[in-house]
Amino acid sequence: MNFDLPEELVTLRDAVTDVCEKHLITGIKSFEERQEFAYPLIREMGKAGLFGAPFPEELGGSAAGFLAVSVIAEEISRLAPEFGYAMNMQSMTCPYTIYNWGTEEQARRFVPGLIAGEQIGMFALSEEGSGSDPAGSMRTVARRDGDVYRLNGSKMWITFSHATDVGVLFAKTDPHADPAHTGITAFIVQPKHFEGYSAQPIELPGLSRSLRSCTVFLDDFVVPVENRLGEEGEGFRIAMNALEYGRLTVSGRLTGLAQSALDVARNYANERIIGGKPIARFQLIQERIADATVAVEAARLMSHRVGWTMDQGRVSTRVASRAKYFATQAARLAGDVAREVLGGNALTAEYPVKKINAYIDMLTVGEGSENVQRVLIGEDSLGIKDATRHAMRNRFVGML
Ligand SMILES: Cc1cc2nc3c(=O)[nH]c(=O)nc-3n(C[C@H](O)[C@H](O)[C@H](O)COP(=O)(O)OP(=O)(O)OC[C@H]3O[C@@H](n4cnc5c(N)ncnc54)[C@H](O)[C@@H]3O)c2cc1C
């Protein structure tokens, strides 16, 4: 067993650091001021190959694999958390789902543009009344009308949906199906090509207003039949599989945020003088830093294990859920330590503590909330429901 990152992933991580420092960290500021989608910066990430790790070279990928995805997601979130979303929209939940479940033709049409950052992606599952329970509560419907489907309803919280070129969207083709999850179908949507799609930004204080989430309204929105992803009724399986890949990036992103919080706290503790000495000399501060240090390291090991498991072509449901859950706890802890160590300065714009914690809060919800993970992990641990009962699809390493 070797716990060292392979040399090529260390080089890749350095390349991500470089993109963040050269383009993203300062570049985002003007887009935030104008509340304008930071398309040129997403394009820079695409050009640097940050989205193509789990795709074959013939589609424009680098075939670097899933451990690489974890490393990239962590480094982006450590330095420029606004861009963490892009790892799903431009790499995993959108294009990888198309690659994993689509036809050869769909993969060739849609994947290269998304992972190059030329086309903006989207993954639209959640609705106002349907977050943790998409099967039972989804209200958006798709009705077949000759060569097209007509979609009606709304989606909520959908990241990048105000700028989407190509997205994966889920709707009920059979609202009366029993069991309910068998009535859901996945579609590849192209909002800029067809009428009937609109997106209304949601105000989320503390989070980016450039790279943001919206409510999406669908009013007889057309999707050609050739854009259906998989078979009718297969959508729930596709969505759950996509969330596995989402959990890979989210656990990496939470680890990056946790590291960032820890770094801020450590630096501050060494610099802040109280009673003639740095507060780092106080044992109560050391205890908090120690707890956060160990939590971040454990979160990183668990996140890397998810990528490694996927790279082996093994079912990763169990490890992905545990890693996402633990990374949430680690990030919460590190975020709290930063808040505590910085005192009043944690509230100022001079330090990134509020921003880091806003992104941590956001990520505890996505890709299955904390309680959803607890239920999954608890039922699995107690032998009630095997977390690995659903075979995953992993086309990159050829596993079904
Ligand atoms: C900034 C942001 C971006 C997002 N981007 C996207 C996106 O791009 N695409 C997309 O599809 N969705 C997206 N989401 C939606 C996200 O996935 C949902 O918010 C999430 O699934 C939870 O749904 P909910 O918010 O409706 O909470 P609910 O499902 O209403 O849950 C409320 C509470 O109940 C708890 N709960 C739920 N079920 C159980 C249970 N069985 N036992 C105990 N407690 C339970 C939850 O843990 C939570 O604490 C985004 C959300 C945010 C905040």
Tell me the CATH number at 272: 1.20.140.10
**Co-location of 113 and 138 in the same domain:** no
**pLDDT per position as a tens digit, 47-60:** 999 999 999 999 99
Q: Using CA atoms, how far apart are residues 252 and 70, in angstroms rounded to an integer?
A: 5
11's tokens: 């080089």
Strand 121-124 to 166-172 pairing: parallel
Q: Which residue has the tokens 């040129």?
A: 40
Spacing, Cα 161 to ligand 1 middle (Å): 17
Full residue range of the structural domain in which residue 349 is found = 237-397
Assess if residue 325 is contained within a domain: yes
**Co-location of 45 and 114 in the same domain:** yes
Assess if residue 95 is contained within a domain: yes
Atom of ligand 1 nearest to the CA of 368: 21
**Protein residue with least CA distance to atom 32, ligand 1:** 132
**Co-location of 390 and 242 in the same domain:** yes
Atom of ligand 1 nearest to the CA of 122: 8
pLDDT for the residue 1: 86
Binning pLDDT at 50, 70 and 90, where does residue 399 land?
Answer: low
Around Cβ 398, how many Cβ atoms within 10 Å? 7
**Co-location of 262 and 220 in the same domain:** no
Among 94, 120, 146, identify where a domain stops: 120
Strands (E) across the chain are located at: 121-124, 141-145, 148-159, 166-172, 184-189, 197-201, 213-224, 228-229, 273-274, 277-278
pLDDT exceeds 60 at position 81: yes
**Co-location of 199 and 111 in the same domain:** no
Would you say 177 and 244 are in contact if contact means Cβ atoms under 8 Å apart? no
pLDDT for the residue 189: 98
**Co-location of 64 and 175 in the same domain:** no
Q: Using CA atoms, how far apart are residues 18 and 14, in angstroms rounded to an integer?
A: 6
Q: Using CA atoms, how far apart are residues 46 and 52, in angstroms rounded to an integer?
A: 8
pLDDT for the residue 398: 79
The share of the chain scoring above pLDDT 70, in percent, equals 100
**pLDDT per position as a tens digit, 198-237:** 999 999 999 999 999 999 999 999 999 999 999 999 999 9
pLDDT for the residue 392: 82
Q: Which of 2, 43, 1, 161 is nearest to 94 (CA)?
A: 161
pLDDT exceeds 80 at position 400: no
List the catalytic residues: 367
Average pLDDT, the chain: 96
**Co-location of 108 and 77 in the same domain:** yes
Spacing, Cα 290 to ligand 1 middle (Å): 31
Assess if residue 86 is contained within a domain: yes
Assess if residue 29 is contained within a domain: yes
Mean pLDDT of 310-330: 96
Pocket of ligand 1 (CB under 6 A): 123-126, 131-132, 157-159, 204, 213, 362, 365-366, 369-372, 375
pLDDT for the residue 287: 98
Q: Using CA atoms, how far apart are residues 371 and 227, in angstroms rounded to an integer?
A: 34
Assess if residue 198 is contained within a domain: yes
Assess if residue 2 is contained within a domain: no
Q: In the beta sheet, which residues pair with residue 214?
A: 158, 201
Assess if residue 1 is contained within a domain: no
Spacing, Cα 8 to ligand 1 middle (Å): 36
Mean pLDDT of 103-111: 98
User: 90, 127, 137, 157: which to mutate for ligand 1, most atoms within 8 A of CB?
Assistant: 157
**Co-location of 247 and 378 in the same domain:** yes
**Co-location of 207 and 304 in the same domain:** no
Q: Is 131 exposed, middle or buried (0-12, 13-18, 19+ CB in 10 A)?
A: middle
**Co-location of 309 and 386 in the same domain:** yes
Domain count, the chain: 3
Phi, psi (deg, nearest 5) at residue 338: -60, -45
**pLDDT per position as a tens digit, 227-272:** 999 999 999 999 999 999 999 999 999 999 999 999 999 999 999 9
Assess if residue 219 is contained within a domain: yes
| Residues making up the chain, counted from first to last | 400
Mean pLDDT of 301-326: 96
Q: In the beta sheet, which residues pair with residue 219?
A: none
Tell me the CATH number at 138: 2.40.110.10
**Co-location of 74 and 41 in the same domain:** yes
**ω into 179 cis (within 30 of 0):** yes
pLDDT exceeds 80 at position 135: no
